[in-house]
Amino acid sequence: MDWRFILGLGLGLLLASVVMFAQNARPVSADKVERLARQMGMVYPQEVVTFREENENGKGDR
């Protein structure tokens, strides 16, 4: 590999890490995460009602 490629890759990674660490990362509360997830359609398994289909014997699928 060309040394310029390696140098460019290293400088790019360094610059990206500096930019990422310079951002003010604020912790997000669990309540806010859940609220946003529910707005996007998240449901808990306990909230979902499932219906079993009956087979030809009149019994549920199992």
Determine how many CB atoms are found less than 10 A away from the CB of residue 53: 6
Q: Taking the domains of the chain in order of start, what are their residue ranges? A: 3-47
- Report the percentage of the chain scoring pLDDT > 90: 52
Residues 6 or more apart from 60 whose CB is under 8 A from it? 52, 53, 54
Residue-level length of the chain: 62
pLDDT digits (tens, 9 = 90+) for 16-41: 999 998 887 788 899 999 999 999 99
pTM: 0.43
- Which pair of structure tokens corresponds to residue 22? 């310079």
Task: Count the alpha carbons within 13 Å of 14 in the hemisphere toward its beta carbon.
Answer: 6
The predicted pLDDT at position 22 comes to 85
Q: Is the pLDDT of residue 57 over 70?
A: no
